[in-house]
Amino acid sequence: MQFEFTTADRIIFGPGTLRGAGPAIKNGGQRPLVVTGKNPQRAEPLFQLLRENNLEAAIFSVSGEPTIQTVRDGVTCAKNQNCDWVIGIGGGSVLDAGKAIAAMMKNEGDVLDYVEIIGRGKTLAKNSARYMAIPTTAGTGSEVTRNAVLASPEHRLKVSLRSPRMLPGYALVDPELTYGLPPSITASTGLDALTQLIEPYVCLRANPMTDAICIEGIRRVAHSIRKTIACGNDPKARTDMAVASLFGGMALANAGLGAVHGFAGPIGGMFSAPHGEICAALLAEVMEINMRALREREEQGHYAKGRYYHIAQILTGKNHAVATAGVEWIRQLVSDLGVPRLSSHGIKSEDIPEIVKNAKNASSMKANPVVLTDEELTEILQRAL
């Protein structure tokens, strides 16, 4: 047995940890570039902390999902403002933008020299600028991943800038920052977190360390996702979901994902659809087709078969639940939370062949527990429309 496990240099977790992060902030550097969402005022607790520690920051706002040009603009801002390190505070898009900007502050050339698929795919030669990632949602786990997902509108694709050198120096996870998130965002990000725990658990590169955190993360989602919707300020439920999101990021960074994310990248590049909603619409369908494919190919001893049973037992709380019970549990959850189907984002049947073609080449698809045929991939999308 051989495996490798890497994550952020330091993870600081717990309610109120942002208020106590003065020493980490003070040791970060002289002048940070703070990457925020479109409304920087939501990062006021961080700005207050910076003021208390006599640090003046430059601000770079990211509206929507980051593009290749977003990273260029962020690096230019950092250089013009004489910034020597980066803090990202926001959802997964903001954290990915900050991660990519920190990487390109220290590496020569253009971001296109380093991205996959549409770029040259060069390896980053130098470590990123010091980076602190502070999530304000519980879903992506981007605070502990080694890649940044960037959109290229002209190519209608999402691609990754990827390197172990991009792992944040600090991942500061304060569940209090997720209090008051709208139910729709809580639902979509929470379902993204669940997907990023299930897929690494059944994927081809699963290992004992990722198994352990996936099992614990799935258990916490099953127990708390509905509570976070019903009561957005429930401390226990919000903490559970923040742990689950963190664990999902650690798992995917060290094991991989599967067909849900194999589809999500191409769909996200072609359509204006929130990543979490794409994953939620696809998760049950991918699980069911994977299970059927394993059965039809007579993969009797395949490890993923037993894992789908285990997932069902954790989700339902029933020790003798069969694998299909887990699929139905997820379908019911997605329905109850009102997550829209793919067709609501403008995806039509005639788009399916292009999505399938692009998804087959996605890095996440290569870790799926079974190789799916074009017909099976098409069926998944048709079911999710």
Question: Over the stretch 150-208, which tens digit does the pLDDT of each residue have?
Answer: 999 998 889 999 999 999 999 999 999 999 899 999 999 999 999 999 999 999 999 99
Higher pLDDT, 2 or 6: 6
Helix (H) or strand (E) holding 333: helix 323-336
- Quote the CA–CA distance of 295 and 305 in Å, as a whole number: 8
Query: Per-residue DSSP letters for 188-237?
Result: HHHHHHHHHHHHHHHSTT--HHHHHHHHHHHHHHHHHHHHHHH-TT-HHH
Residue 362 to residue 342: CA distance in whole angstroms: 19
Indicate the SS3 state at residue 378: helix
- pLDDT at position 327: 98
| Nearest in space to 148 (alpha carbons), one of 190, 196, 115, 105 | 115
Average model confidence (pLDDT) across the chain: 95
Quick one: pLDDT at residue 170? 96
**Topology (CATH) of 10-178:** Rossmann fold (3.40.50)
- According to DSSP, the residues that pair with 132 across neighbouring strands are 87, 170
- Pull the structure tokens for residue 173: 């996870």
Rounded Cα gap, residues 292 and 210, in angstroms: 25
Which parts of the chain are beta strand (E)?
A: 10-13, 32-36, 58-61, 85-90, 130-135, 147-152, 157-162, 170-173
The 10 Å CB-count burial string (b at 16+, else e) for 134-167 is bbbbbbbbbbbbbbbbbbbeeeebbbbbbbebbb
Kindly tell me the number of DSSP H helices and DSSP E strands found in the chain.
Answer: 13, 8
Distance CA 218, CA 177 (A): 22
The residue behind tokens 């993969």 is 299
Distance CA 85, CA 132 (A): 8
Residue range 183-384 forms a domain whose CATH class is mainly alpha
Which H or E element spans position 98?
A: helix 92-106
Give the pLDDT band of residue 275 (cuts 50, 70, 90): very high
The per-residue pLDDT for 300 is 66
pLDDT digits (tens, 9 = 90+) for 65-96: 999 999 999 999 999 999 999 999 999 999 99
Distances (CA, A) of 279 to 49, 196, 282: 35, 9, 5
Two structure tokens written together for 112? 């296109």
**Which residue type is seen at 208?**
P
pLDDT tens readout for residues 304-318: 999 999 999 999 999
pLDDT (tens digit per residue) in 354-374: 999 999 989 999 999 999 999
pLDDT tens digits, residue range 100-158? Answer: 999 999 999 999 999 988 888 899 999 999 999 999 999 999 999 999 999 999 988 89
For the CA atoms of the chain, what is the radius of gyration? Answer: 20
Domain boundaries, the chain: 10-178, 183-384
| Span 255-281, average pLDDT | 95
Whether the per-residue pLDDT at 299 is higher than 80: the answer is: no
Q: Kindly report the backbone phi and psi dihedral angles of residue 355, in degrees, each rounded to the nearest multiple of 5, phi listed first.
A: -65, -45
* The pLDDT of residue 2: 87
Query: What is the percentage of the chain residues whose pLDDT exceeds 90?
Result: 92
Cβ pair 61, 41 in contact under 8 A: no
